[in-house]
Amino acid sequence: MNFYRPILAIESSCDETAIAIIRPPFELLVNLVASQSQVHACFGGVVPEVASRNHLLVIDPLFHRALAEAKLRPSDLGAVVATAGPGLAPALLVGASYAKGIALGLGIPYLAVNHLEGHLLSPFFLKKEIPKHLSLLVSGGHTQLTKVNKAGSYYLLSRTHDDAAGEAFDKVAKLLGLPYPGGVEIDRLAQSGNPKRYSFPRALMEKGNLNFSFSGLKTSVRYFLEQREMLPDSSELADLAASFQQAIVEVLVEKTRRAAQIEGLSCVGVSGGVAANSALRNSLIALCRECQWEIHFPQPELIGDNAAMIAYAGMHRLIAGEQSSVTSEIVPQWQIHSHC
């Protein structure tokens, strides 16, 4: 392939349908995520939130809008990449099949991309180099520490035994009766709360343990609420949010510190939805300042699920000479250590 022709990327591994186009090596032409309001506007009526059918409804109009916004014709594209896993099979199938169709129709390369690899590289989006670093990926579905040697070379150090950090935020917000999206609401409330008022458990903190467990924390918040006669008032609610958030943040920061020290890494990349949490960001920035490490976060529009990160991860692999067959299958359980 011609490395300077635009790469189109499709992401449909879970809730979001997203299409992005980048012009290698350093230019983002368009980055679209179909939100539910757009789905409503296009098709009217009530469209279920998490339905795989939604991907099918929006993917074609989204593709044409992406080309129009990038001022490209289909024949200008040099390659098509798509998320092939991990994710929900019916959802993955829509994006990967659509991408293969374009590749076949235009006679250009197709490449299957790992969704987690997209997140891992997102803090370094379109930067000249991806340094050797420690990656902390924290989202609703994933919480893991990975050693990144370079693009395409990963070693999984640890992951959660049960709930992901973003899931814990979401479920505790629900227990506290907070509106959706719960993680954002906890972050907001916690800013006026006292993080030391209540003590919630920090799991797996014994020496050398890099893994995570957040289900006990969620359960302890539930017990706490059940033991009270009354619902918390607004100042207690802020203190509860702050104390809970502090428990998660402390664990994430401490495990990041340990992993970086054990692996001798002096650069940290943070990705996934929880990378937007202000307390986590501040604590990680403080850690890295103290240890004199570099720290990188994704741009705000690359924090949630998006296709730009898939385009970027795909670009590195295409440049390395990789390509997938259009008969290749989706891989719903594709883990990042498959790349080791």
Partner 1 sequence: MPPDFIPSIFYSSSVEETLAIASKIVKSIAARGIISLEGPLGAGKTHFVKGVARALEIDEEVTSPTFTLLQIYGSENNRLYHFDFYRFHEECEAADLGLEDYFAKNLTIIEWGDKFPSLLPPETIRVIITPLENGVRTITLTSEKKIYAPSCS
Cα torsion angle, 48, 51, 53, 59, sign: positive
Binding segment for partner 1 (CB under 8 A), chosen from 60-68, 138-146, 181-189, 317-325, is: 138-146
Q: Is residue 161 at the binding interface for partner 1, with CB under 8 A as the rule? A: yes
Q: Report the greatest alpha carbon distance in the chain.
A: 68
Q: Among 88, 126, 184, 204, which residue sits at the site for partner 1 (rule: CB under 8 A)?
A: 88
Q: Is residue 218 at the binding interface for partner 1, with CB under 8 A as the rule? A: yes
How far is residue 306 CA from its own chain's centroid?
8
* Binding to partner 1 in span 198-217, by CB under 8 A: 215
Residue 132 token pair? 């050797």
CB 196 within 8 A of CB 243: yes
Q: Is residue 49 at the binding interface for partner 1, with CB under 8 A as the rule? A: yes
Residue 5 CB burial class (10 angstroms; 0-12, 13-18, ≥19): middle
Closest CB 88 distance from partner 1, rounded Å:
5
Which candidate, 108, 246, 96, 220, places its Cα nearest to that of 163? 220
* Binding to partner 1 in span 93-132, by CB under 8 A: none
Q: Is residue 163 at the binding interface for partner 1, with CB under 8 A as the rule? A: yes
Q: Is residue 40 at the binding interface for partner 1, with CB under 8 A as the rule? A: no
Mark 276-315 with x for binding to partner 1 (rule: CB under 8 A) and - for no binding. Answer: ----------------------------------------
Q: Among 61, 74, 131, 332, which residue sits at the site for partner 1 (rule: CB under 8 A)?
A: 332
Closest CB 255 distance from partner 1, rounded Å:
16
Query: Bridge partners of 112?
Result: 82
Buried b (16+ CB within 10 A) or exposed e, 128-137: eebeebbbbb
Which candidate, 241, 251, 42, places its Cα nearest to that of 164? 251
Closest to partner 1 by CB, 29 vs 221, is 221
Residues binding partner 1 (CB under 8 A): 14, 46, 48-53, 86-90, 139-141, 159-164, 166-167, 170-171, 174-175, 215, 218-219, 221-223, 332-333
